[in-house]
Every structure is written in structure tokens, then in C-alpha cells.
Structure 1
């Protein structure tokens, strides 16, 4: 009876507080729209300048391959000086130079040097552009050799196949990871703010003098925000599947259960923060620093954990979002790979138990 009353009280408070509804349902929509449409790790329509010292049918054919590619927007330059000026002024990202002897070497079946200059300020984009240019030139050279009935230049032919994300769309990689960031904000930030507000107003201390047990107070606080967080997750899932066309190759039930485990861990973190801080501003600041930023930077959402220094890789093991991102990317893109799902789900269950347990102990000590 006590628990039912507490849940009803907290639910009414959520309905009367527009900010909680906005964080749970409006924020996922905004973040998914921003990241889904505004953030991309793909390099498309790259402005590239080209210099053809001696135009021939072969050079025109190669440049045509770039002009018909979705990855490039080629622009012609008369000399290297003007192309370098365009590169330095950021009008183009790369320069491709075809020298005077390009066609003669090609027709004589000799090695053909092609100069490529890439803007390396953004190292990741530079590597992508370099790979795209090399792939375009190699594909064109293969077609040219086939047309002229010449043997392949190399005795080994590589036939690449991409698993799990065959279209190489960064959106399919980013959107599932963004669900973890959204649920971190909903779980940790909302709980931290709400509990801290109760401390500031003194209503929590007043509640403690009633016959209500401490576990009922905790459940009364956690359950409504658990439902709210799962609602935000469902909004994110609907947008991922039907708006951004991200595949869901695994089980929906596995996704929901793992999301529930992660949300419990996030709620536990928010509860622990509010018990320690007892001030809304401080609680919000701590929640952002200890939950949102690690979820964004150290979870594998954007940056590859294996590429980080060893000491930083060890730190990522205390970030709950790391385990949830691994489950999300597996369930969405690969399917129900239990060797990945079960260990990460066990880690989430352990972290949820730890944070909620420590929060309860901390509250009992503070309120005695």
C-alpha cells in the first residue's frame, strides 16, 4: 500500500514537471535527428581538385570515374599553384595530378605514378579520402585492362566482403550507440536532479519520519523513472528502425531486457549522485561529468576503445555504457551473438546491483 502511494505520488510529480517529460521523450528525438542527419563519419561529395598536364582519352576516362562517383566533387585546375591555393583555403580537400607521361606509360603497360595530395588536418577524413581515391583509381585501372584485354597487374586479386554493415553507413553505427547516451542522460540525470530537489526542499527527510520503509522509498522513486526511461528507449528504437532504417538483426526481447539492465545501472548512478550531492546544480554537474561524458567518449560509441592507450582502456571497464554499446551494436547489426551479449549483460547487472546497493546504504547512514 505504501509503495503504491509513493509510485502514484512520483508519477503525478512527473506529469506536473514538463522538464522530465522533455528529457525523456523530446531529448531523444532531438539528439537522434542531430546525430542521424547532422553527424556522419562517411566521406561523401569530397571536393577534390585535379590537374591533367596532357589531356588524352585515358586521362578523361579516369577523371570521368571521379565525376561519376558519389564520393567526389572534382574540379579542374590549370596548374599546381592554383590547386595548392585552393587546398590551403579549404575549397578542396585533395589534389590529384596526372603527369605528362600518364597515357604513354599506361599504353606501354608500365607503372603509372599518380600524385595525390590530401589535407591532413582531419587525419581520419584524410585516410578515408586516400582510400577512396586509391579504390577509384584501381577500379578504373581494372576496367581499362579488361577493355584492352591485358593481364591483371597483380597475380592476387582481393575480393573484399563487409559483414554486419555492408553498406558502410556510419548512421547504422552511430544511432545504436546514441541510444546508450540517451538512456544515460534519462536515467542518471533525471534521477540525480529529482532526488537532489527532494533533499533541497526537505521533503525526503519528512518522508523518512513516516512508517514507510527505506526500500519502499527507493522503489517509489526508481520505478516511475524506470518506466519513463524505457519509454524514451522505445521512442529511440522506433526512430532508429523507421526513420533512419537501421537494421535490427537480433531479438527485440534481448534488446529490451539489456536496455532494462542498463537503465537500472543508470538509475542507480543517478541515485548515488543525488545522495552524495543533495544539491541540484552540483548533482547535474557530477552526472554530466561522471555519466554523460564517459558514455560519449569512452563507451566505443564514436571512438574505438582498442585504439585508446592501455591505461584508458582499463578505465572504460567502469563505464556502464561501454557494455551497453557493445550489446546494442551486436543486436542491431550482427544479431544475437551470445558470446558478446551475455558477458556484457552480466557486467550491467553487476553494476546495477552495486550502484543501487551502495545508494541504499548511503541513504540509511545519512538519515539515521
Structure 2
């Protein structure tokens, strides 16, 4: 004969209290349009903005062409720029007109062929080509410089083929592009943007949750109930975790089906790593909410310590290796740095376990750290 053990009344009461907290928070989320907007509307707006409105690809760059002598060689060289999809040539009669156009930002660069270009070229002497580039934006200047060199090399190869010879270069460059063969900036930006979205959903929402309870006076009523501090934290953590996973699913779906970003890794790996980052962000937000009892202050702190670092220092847009050494050290303190690395690896390279494992381990450390601080600071006291 087996005896059925009666359930522990204390554990049963704890489960009931936790279910009640989760139900209360879920109803509050449904009744609060701002939470739904941050979880679903804001990701759509950010993805549309960065996916369509922001691009790091420099195409159709306006380039001034100055040809002082109408020779066949000069015309053929100028034609090499017109065949490029990255450049938009504009012809000018004199270098003074082109320089004025550069000053007024009508063009971003100038290619200048002097009147003795063909004569020196046919005589075997050096035929210099003048190139002037607007260096206000250093990145664009380097891109234009590369495009001009590419058009120049294309012209040399075409000229050698017309003369039934081979272009004699000391080095032959054979390049292959891995992971993003199309060189589309959307493939780089959209996965990183998911980290920013998850930071907003996790840190910003939860930072304002408990602060809103203090402002409305409902926290005092909650503290006099039998519910424990641990149950309060779990009751507020779990509903927003589900909300964040919904925002993740929406963001991944838009990235793959709307923007055509390849997903070479597996969805379970993406889900697990995203869950770790979301828990870390939720813990950060709960920690902030235990310090600030005002929604405005909590929101400002969340933006300063979570959103802005995730946007600027995570590698989402700016390469971390190009940052000053002191700033690179700071990036190791940001969970978004590790999550962005995981996202870009899973989307563009696949399940590279060395990268995923090390970064996931760092996210686990952040989860334990922030949840530990939130639990330590959360107590059923009015002070």
C-alpha cells in the first residue's frame, strides 16, 4: 500500500501567490498601451528605419570628371567611371567649376585629366591623374578612394585587352568575401539592432515597472500582503520575459522575411542566447527600478546605462577594435557586446560554438549579477 503525501501547505501557498502576481502583472501589461507599444510597435519602427532608411553602403556617389582634352584615351578612362554602379559621374569643363561643385557639396570627389594626359600616356611617360576627395567624412572619403582605384584598375585591364596584351602587375589580387558576400549593410545592421530592441524591452520596461508601482501607491498595498520579495521579482520578471520573447520573434521574422537577412544558425541556439540576454536586461531593469522610485528618473537611468551603451559601444554599428583602448575595456562590461557577437555569428556564419559558448557564458554571469543585486535590494520595507 502506498501512502499519498499531502502537499506542503507553505509551498502550495507560495505557488498561489506567484500565480497571482503573474496574473496581476499580465493584466497590467494588457491594460497598459505603452508596454505593448515598446514591445511590438517600437521594434517595427526601428527595423523599418534602420532597414530601409539607414545604409552604410555608398552607392551612386556624385563624382566630378574634368577632361581638359577630348582624346580617345581620356574618354575611355572617363567611361570606366560611368560603368560603376557605385559612382555617379558629372562632367565639368574646367577644374575651377569642379572645385566649386565640391565646395557646395554637389560632388564628393573630382578626377582631373590634364590636357597632356594622352600625350604622356602614349609616349610611355607617367601620365598623372589628379584626384580630389572631400575628406569631411573620413569613411566616405576612403570608400570613394577605393572606388576610384577600382575604376582605374578596370580601365587598365580593358586597355591591356584591347592591345592584345596582359596587364603586368606584380601582385594579382583574388578576393573572397565570407559571411556577407553581397556586402549588404542590412545583413550587418539588422541582427545588431535586435540587441538594441531587446535592451529596450528588457531594461526600459522593467525599470519603470516598480517605479510606477511606487508612484501610484500600489507598492505599499503590495508590501502588506503575504507575498515575498522573491515572489514580487519573479512575478514581474516572467510576464515581461514572455513579452520580450514576443518582440524577439517579431524582430527575427522581419529580419528574415522582410529584409532578407540570412539565418545560417539554428533557431534553438538563437532562442537560448536571446533568453540569456533578455534575463540579463530584465535583471538590469529591476535593479534600476529598486533604486529609482520615479518613472521619469528610472527611464532616464535605463536609457543612459543600457540603451545608449548598447547602441554606441556594442559593435552594433561601430567596430569595437577601432575604438580607443580605454573604451574597449568599458565594452566588456556591457551585456549587449556579447549578444551582438552572438547575433551576427548565428545569422551570418552559423553555429560557431566557440563564439556562441564564450559569449553565452558571459551573459550567464550578467544574469546572476543583476538578478542577485535586484534580489538583495528588493525588500518589503518602505525605506
Q: Could you say which TM-score interval applies, normalised by the shorter chain? A: over 0.9
1:93 maps onto 2:90 in alignment: no
1:314 maps onto 2:329 in alignment: yes
Could you tell me how far apart the structure 1 residues matched to 2:130 and 2:381 are? 69
CA drift at 1:109 = 4.8
Aligned partner of 1:83 in structure 2 is: 98
Residue-by-residue CA offset, 1:112-141 (whole Å, 9 max, x unaligned): 321111101111111111111111111221
Could you tell me how far apart the structure 1 residues matched to 2:93 and 2:83 are? 21
Residue-by-residue CA offset, 1:305-331 (whole Å, 9 max, x unaligned): 111111111011111100000001111
Partner of 1:364, secondary structure, is coil
**Cα distance change, pair 110–250 in 1 and its aligned pair in 2 (3 A):** farther
Unaligned runs of 5+ in 2: 1-15
Could you tell me how far apart the structure 1 residues matched to 2:348 and 2:124 are? 43
Alignment match of 1:234 (pick from 249, 259, 266) = 249
Aligned partner of 2:378 in structure 1 is: 363
CA drift at 1:366 = 5.1
Aligned partner of 2:3 in structure 1 is: none
Could you tell me how far apart the structure 2 residues matched to 1:20 and 1:47 are? 44
Of residues 134-143 and 31-40 in structure 1, the stretch that sits farther from structure 2 once superposed is 134-143
Of residues 259-268 and 162-171 in structure 1, the stretch that sits farther from structure 2 once superposed is 162-171
Aligned partner of 2:155 in structure 1 is: 140
Could you tell me how far apart the structure 1 residues matched to 2:371 and 2:361 are? 16
Written as runs of structure 1 = structure 2, the 5 A alignment for 1:1-368 is: 1-364=16-379
Residue pair 2:312, 2:318 contacting (<8 A) in 1 also: yes
Of residues 107-116 and 15-24 in structure 1, the stretch that sits farther from structure 2 once superposed is 107-116
CA drift at 1:209 = 1.9
Could you tell me how far apart the structure 1 residues matched to 2:111 and 2:151 are? 12
Aligned residue-pair number: 368
Report which of the two structures shows the higher radius of gyration computed on alpha carbons. Answer: 2
Could you tell me how far apart the structure 2 residues matched to 1:283 and 1:129 are? 44
Could you tell me how far apart the structure 2 residues matched to 1:215 and 1:109 are? 83
Could you tell me how far apart the structure 1 residues matched to 2:126 and 2:95 are? 22
Residue-by-residue CA offset, 1:130-185 (whole Å, 9 max, x unaligned): 11111111122112212212232312201111111111111111111100001101
Q: Provide the aligned C-alpha RMSD in A.
A: 1.4
**TM-score, structure 2 as length reference:** 0.93
**TM-score, structure 1 as length reference:** 0.97
Residue-by-residue CA offset, 1:4-49 (whole Å, 9 max, x unaligned): 1111111111111111100000000000111111111111010111
Unaligned runs of 5+ in 1: none
Of residues 193-202 and 280-289 in structure 1, the stretch that sits farther from structure 2 once superposed is 193-202
CA drift at 1:205 = 2.8
CA drift at 1:281 = 0.6
